[in-house]
Amino acid sequence: MTELNQIDLRTLLSGSKRAWDGFVTAAAPLINAVVRRALLTYRLNEDDVLDAAQDVFVRLCANEFRLLKTYDPARASLSTWLAVVARSAAIDHARRRRQITQSIDDVAEANLAVEDRHVEKIKIPQGLLTERQMLVLRCLYDEEKDVAEVAQLFKIDAQTVRSTHHKALRRLRAHFQEGSH
Amino acid sequence: MSTDRLTQADKELWRSLAAAPVVAPGTASDLDFAAWLEGRLTEAEAARIEAAIASDPEMRRAALELAEVLGHERLPASPRLEARAKALVGFEVERAPARAGLFDWLFATNRRFVLQRVATLAAAVVISISGFMMGGGLGASFAQERQAGLSRPAAPPSAGDLSEFPFSDGT
């Protein structure tokens, strides 16, 4: 079986049926996994999940592979880029699906909450924390992820996450203690 | 792994700093996001993406989910998904353009192979003219030969030829 990162993109983008079939075989497990994970909270049935995964492939090949042509191998691996694209397509699919088919009585109350697409403005002075420290605190406290999950996200070891967290809180405490005096 | 080292006091301190939400700024492109997930960005580029992720809960969820999926082995997809996805791109024979004939090629309006097309047309004209001239000469010699054959006297039939006819004198 062809590995995703061994796909000959030029042949694929030329519209070769054989290259497309190879690409589908290599990409399907990843796209399937990403779509399933993304739709976990939407409680869709198996057919909807399959449709959402199919929608990812449709987007990739539509308009003579327009989306696939935006991929740049120099920037990221094909698998990671595909995962990002697949998740985004799956969320769009689920939102459209929810709008079209579900009666308000059938939707769990939590799912009816307004989407939380906002920036939580923090009363922390600019530059007090690094972007990395800020994101670590967000993941640990706002997303309630554990240290191992945050370490996996940043591809660093758990001890580095703890150290980043510790330094960030020390800075915060120092700053706000100074301010209170 | 647990959050045992993350004390409630730390959490409270963090939460006390959150204020009213404002509209999100611009987000990172898919490629930038993928590059960040792989740790391929420079420190400055990564800081820009991390700022966007820190300020957008949806991006944070995406980052955490993708890191989780990409870090694990994946199960094979269902054959139905593969079959449907493969059917999205047709067979090459369906997409092949209709074959152009010599005539189409010679008089095509595009600018490709202009020299070759002119040379082919010139060769065709030369062959036609020389063929016509040769054909004329051949026609005349054939006519002469035919005329000579008609004017020649017929040979008398041989004995062998006569014996083939059944003569009868009435006996």
CATH (domain of A131): 1.10.10.10
- Residue B55 forms contact with A (CB below 8 Å): yes
Q: Is the pLDDT of residue B171 over 50?
A: no
The one-character DSSP state at A144 is -
The one-character DSSP state at B88 is T
> How would residue B121 be classed by pLDDT, with cut points 50, 70 and 90?
confident
Residues in A touching B22 (Cβ below 8 Å) = 118-119, 121
User: How many Å apart are CA A60 and CA B40, to the nearest integer?
Assistant: 24
Give yes or no: residues A9 and A87 share one domain: yes
Give yes or no: residues A77 and A16 share one domain: yes
The one-character DSSP state at A112 is G
Give the residue with greater pLDDT, A88 vs B7.
A88
Q: Hey, of A75, A165, A180, which one would you mutate to test binding to chain B, going by the most B CBs within 10 A of its CB?
A: A75
Burial of B117 (0-12, 13-18, 19+ CB in 10 A): middle
At A177 the pLDDT is: 77
Cα–Cα distances in angstroms (integers) from residue B71 to residues A125, B74, B103, in the given order: 35, 9, 59
Q: How many CB atoms lie within 10 A of CB A175?
A: 14
Give yes or no: residues A91 and A143 share one domain: no
The residues facing A118 across adjacent strands are B23
At B136 the pLDDT is: 57
Burial of B36 (0-12, 13-18, 19+ CB in 10 A): buried
Q: Is the pLDDT of residue A65 over 90?
A: yes
Whether residue A164 lies inside any domain: the answer is: yes
Give yes or no: residues A92 and A127 share one domain: no
Name residue, tokens 């008089």. Answer: B107
Give yes or no: residues A89 and A16 share one domain: yes
How much is the mean pLDDT over chain A? 87
Name residue, tokens 């959402």. Answer: A52
- The torsion defined by the Cα of B78, B79, B84 and B87, in degrees rounded to 10, comes to 150
A133 and A168 Cβ atoms separated by less than 8 Å: yes
Whether residue A133 lies inside any domain: the answer is: yes
Give yes or no: residues A128 and A92 share one domain: no
* Region A149-170 average pLDDT: 94
Taking only residues 133 to 152 of chain B, the set having a beta carbon closer than 8 angstroms to any beta carbon of chain A reads none
* Region A62-73 average pLDDT: 94
- A122:B78 CB<8 A: no
Domain harbouring A71, CATH code: 1.10.1740.10
b vs e for A26-44, b when ≥16 Cβ sit within 10 Å of the residue's Cβ?
bbbbbbbbbbbbbbeebeb
Please tell me chain B's helix, strand, coil percentages from 3-state DSSP, rounded to the nearest 5: 60, 5, 35
At A50 the pLDDT is: 94
Give yes or no: residues A153 and A75 share one domain: no
At A133 the pLDDT is: 93
- A146:B80 CB<8 A: no
> How would residue B75 be classed by pLDDT, with cut points 50, 70 and 90?
confident
Structure tokens at A155: 């591809």
Whether residue A104 lies inside any domain: the answer is: no
Give the residue with greater pLDDT, B23 vs A10.
A10
The 10s digit of each residue's pLDDT in B5-48 is 577 778 777 777 765 444 455 578 999 999 999 999 999 999 99
At A73 the pLDDT is: 94
Give the residue with greater pLDDT, B119 vs A2.
B119
Q: How many CB atoms lie within 10 A of CB A14?
A: 11
Structure tokens at B45: 């580029």
Amino acid at A35: V
- A130:B47 CB<8 A: yes
Coil/strand/helix, residue A119: strand
At B127 the pLDDT is: 87
Which range of residues forms the domain containing residue A129?
123-179
Of A77, A96, A115, the position where a domain reaches its end is: A96
At B20 the pLDDT is: 44
Name residue, tokens 């939580």. Answer: A120
Of A60, A77, A96, the position where a domain reaches its end is: A96
- B92:A17 CB<8 A: yes
Per the structure, how many domains does chain A have?
2
Residues in A touching B50 (Cβ below 8 Å) = 131-132, 134-135
Residue pairs spanning A and B at CB distance below 8 A: 208
Q: Which of A42-51, A68-77, A94-103, B45-54 is least confident?
A: A94-103
Residues in B touching A173 (Cβ below 8 Å) = 13
Question: How far is B110 from chain A, CA to nearest CA, in Å?
Answer: 22
User: How many Å apart are CA B7 and CA A72, to the nearest integer?
Assistant: 43
Give the residue with greater pLDDT, B38 vs B120.
B38
Give yes or no: residues A17 and A81 share one domain: yes
At B80 the pLDDT is: 93
At B133 the pLDDT is: 72
- A30:B11 CB<8 A: no
Evaluate whether ipTM surpasses 0.90: no
DSSP B65-115: HHHHHHTS--PPPPHHHHHHHHTTS--HHHHSPPPP-HHHHHT-SSSTTHH
Give yes or no: residues A84 and A9 share one domain: yes
Give yes or no: residues A21 and A64 share one domain: yes
Give yes or no: residues A8 and A88 share one domain: yes
The 10s digit of each residue's pLDDT in A110-135 is 555 655 555 555 678 888 899 999 99
pTM, entire model: 0.66
How much is the mean pLDDT over chain B? 75
A90 and A52 Cβ atoms separated by less than 8 Å: yes
Q: Is the pLDDT of residue B1 over 50?
A: no
- Residue B166 forms contact with A (CB below 8 Å): no
At A2 the pLDDT is: 65
Give yes or no: residues A83 and A138 share one domain: no
Taking only residues 95 to 114 of chain B, the set having a beta carbon closer than 8 angstroms to any beta carbon of chain A reads 95
Residues in Cβ contact with B55 at an 8 Å cutoff, skipping those fewer than 6 apart: A119, A120, B24, B25
